[in-house]
């Protein structure tokens, strides 16, 4: 599947957000539950996040050009960052509404019908979240992954809200509804922080996870032979694209052709070990002291004379 066609999953998320938002708004109108109101507001955030994901997926699918030689993959991190910020705003709004209802309790109405409507919305979110999560894992999309986890969080949140309403129906204690809503707000805050942190790590060019680094190191170990070493291994990820760079040290008496063939094999094996990876290798003579001066991230500038 072409990267550009991933936008169909964003459209699916948009449609689901509109559908669930309407259902939950109806459930709130029927019951007057601030817990269900918090659920409806979360669907608004889902819609905003899905719209942002649609835009960023379209941008990230663009090929590399003269101004963006490494591609547009980082665009996906913007959608997850914006979605995280919107989640935090929604959490504050939910908390304010819940505190107001906690101080001035109000009886809930038509609880049974409201529960049925909200359950339909939760099932729709669960189905779409599982579809998005499968697509995110298959196509290595951080935007779809963030959107899927957000929808799953919405499902668990809805479950908590439904539990709160059920407890109100059983106990008659009206304050249980706003208390559950406050718990919902706290959960949303945690989700928002997690999503924003992951977005920031992507924008900061964080190294590949340990499991992927091990795969790269296994490739390099497989190419070790007498007189061949490597160092200055550096990795990062930009959206779906991974970048791996390293220096390969070979005996000085090797021909350029010998060194080139080794680097070609190493790069090909790294591409086999990891999907969507761009590998950069630099050849150096093993017996030249200068080859060992660039192990650090930044090579020191030596003054002449």
Domain architecture of the chain: domains with CATH? 3-203 (1.20.1510.10), 210-292 (3.30.70.1350)
Specify burial of residue 248 (Cβ count, 10 A radius: 0-12, 13-18, 19+): buried
What is the rounded CA–CA span in Å between residue 128 and residue 168?
Answer: 30
Note whether 165 and 177 are within 8 A (CB): yes
What is the rounded CA–CA span in Å between residue 273 and residue 78?
Answer: 28
Reported as a pLDDT band with limits 50, 70 and 90, residue 81 is confident
User: For the chain, how many residues are written?
Assistant: 305
186 pLDDT more than 50: yes
Kindly state the average pLDDT of the residues 231-252.
Answer: 90
Sorted by sequence, the CB contacts under 8 Å of residue 280 that are 6+ apart come out as: 243, 244, 245, 246
What was the pLDDT predicted at 273?
Answer: 94
pTM (2 d.p.)? 0.67
Identity of the highest mean pLDDT range in 19-33, 87-101, 200-214, 283-297: 200-214
């Amino acid at each position: 599947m072409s990267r550009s066609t991933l936008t169909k999953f964003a459209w699916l998320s948009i449609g689901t957000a509109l559908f669930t938002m309407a259902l939950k708004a109806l459930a709130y109108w029927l019951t007057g539950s601030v817990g269900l109101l918090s659920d409806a507001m979360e669907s608004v955030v889902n819609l905003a996040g899905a719209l942002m994901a649609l835009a960023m997926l379209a941008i990230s699918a663009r090929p590399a050009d003269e101004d963006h030689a490494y591609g547009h993959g980082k665009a996906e991190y913007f959608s997850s960052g914006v979605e995280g910020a919107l989640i935090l705003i929604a959490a504050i709004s939910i908390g304010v509404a819940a505190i107001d209802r906690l101080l001035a309790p109000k009886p809930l109405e038509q609880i049974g019908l409201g529960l049925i409507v909200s359950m339909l919305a939760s099932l729709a979110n669960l189905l779409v979240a599982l579809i998005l999560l499968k697509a995110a894992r298959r196509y290595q999309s951080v935007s779809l992954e963030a959107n899927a986890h957000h929808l799953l969080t919405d499902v668990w949140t809805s479950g908590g809200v439904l539990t709160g309403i059920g407890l109100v129906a059983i106990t008659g204690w009206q304050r249980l509804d706003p208390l559950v809503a406050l718990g919902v707000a706290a959960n949303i805050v945690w989700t928002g922080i997690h999503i924003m942190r992951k977005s920031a790590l992507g924008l900061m060019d964080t190294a590949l996870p340990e499991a992927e680094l091990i795969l790269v190191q296994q490739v390099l170990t497989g190419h070790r032979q007498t007189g061949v070493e490597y160092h200055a291994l550096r990795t990062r990820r930009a959206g779906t694209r991974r970048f791996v760079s390293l220096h390969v040290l070979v005996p000085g008496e090797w021909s350029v052709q010998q060194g080139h063939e080794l680097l070609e094999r190493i790069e090909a094996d790294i591409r086999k070990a990891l999907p969507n990876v761009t590998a950069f290798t630099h050849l150096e003579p093993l017996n030249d002291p200068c080859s060992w001066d660039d192990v650090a991230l930044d090579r020191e500038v030596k003054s002449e004379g």
